[in-house]
Amino acid sequence: MSAIVASAAQPRPRPGQSIFRHHVVRAVISISVFILLWELGSRLKAPWVGEVPPPSVVLDTWIPLLTDQGYWYSWYQSSRRVLSGFLAAMIIGIPFGLAMATSRVFHDLTFPVFEILRPIPPLAWVPAAIIFWPTQELSIGFVIFLGAIFTIMLNVIGGARSIDVRFFQAARSMGSSNWDIFRRIVLPGVLPSIVVGCEVGIGITWNVVVAAEMISGGGGAIQSSAGGGLGFFIWNSYIGFSYPHIVVGMISIGIAGYISSAIIRRLGLYVTPWLRVR
Partner 1 sequence: MNARGDMATKGAIRIQNVDKMYYAREGAVQAVSDCSLDIRAGEICMIVGPSGCGKTTLLNAIAGFHDITGGAIYLDGEMLCGPDRPKADPGPDRVVVFQNGALFPWKTNLENVAFGPVVQGRLTKAQANEKARGMMADAGLVGVEHNYPGEVSSGMRRRVEIVRALMNDPKVLLLDEPFRALDSLTKSVMHEALLEIYYKNKVTIFFITHDLEEAIFLGHRVAIMTTRPCKPKKILDVDIPHPRDYSVLTSPRFRSLMEETVNAVHEEAVKAFEAGEKEM
Binding mask 186-215 for partner 1 (x = CB under 8 A): --xx-x------------------------
Among 6, 113, 116, 131, binds partner 1 (CB under 8 A): 6
Least distance to partner 1, CB of residue 201, Å: 22
Rounded distance, CA 53 to CA 41, Å? 10
* One of 75, 106, 167, 243 touching partner 1 (CB under 8 A): 167
Q: CA angle 122-125-128, nearest 5°?
A: 165
Based on CB atoms, which residue is closest to partner 1, 172 or 223? 172
Determine the interface stretch with partner 1 among 5-13, 30-38, 72-80, 128-136 (rule: CB under 8 A).
5-13
Residue 13 binds partner 1, judged by CB under 8 A:
no
- Segment lying near partner 1 (by CB under 8 A), choices 20-28, 239-247, 253-261, 266-274: 266-274
Cα distance between residue 226 and residue 75, in whole Å:
10
Of the listed pieces 52-60, 85-93, 113-121, 184-192, which binds partner 1 according to CB under 8 A? 184-192
Amino acid at 212: A
Would you call 183 helix, strand, or coil by DSSP? Answer: helix
Q: Which stretch binds partner 1 (CB under 8 A): 16-24, 161-169, 236-244, 260-268?
A: 161-169
* Between 190 and 234, CB nearer to partner 1: 190
**What residue type is assigned to position 267 of the chain?**
L
Q: How far apart are CA 209 and CA 146, in angstroms?
A: 11
Q: Which of 187, 200, 208, 37 is nearest to 124 (CA)?
A: 208
d(CA 149, CA 131): 20
Q: In angstroms, what is the minimal distance from the CB of 267 to partner 1? A: 16
Q: List, as one string, the DSSP characters of 225-239.
A: S--S-HHHHHHHHHH
Task: Say how far apart CA 72 and CA 116 lie, in whole Å.
Answer: 38
Contacts to partner 1 by CB under 8 A: 1, 4-6, 8-9, 164, 166-167, 169-177, 180, 184-185, 188-189, 191, 272-274, 277-278
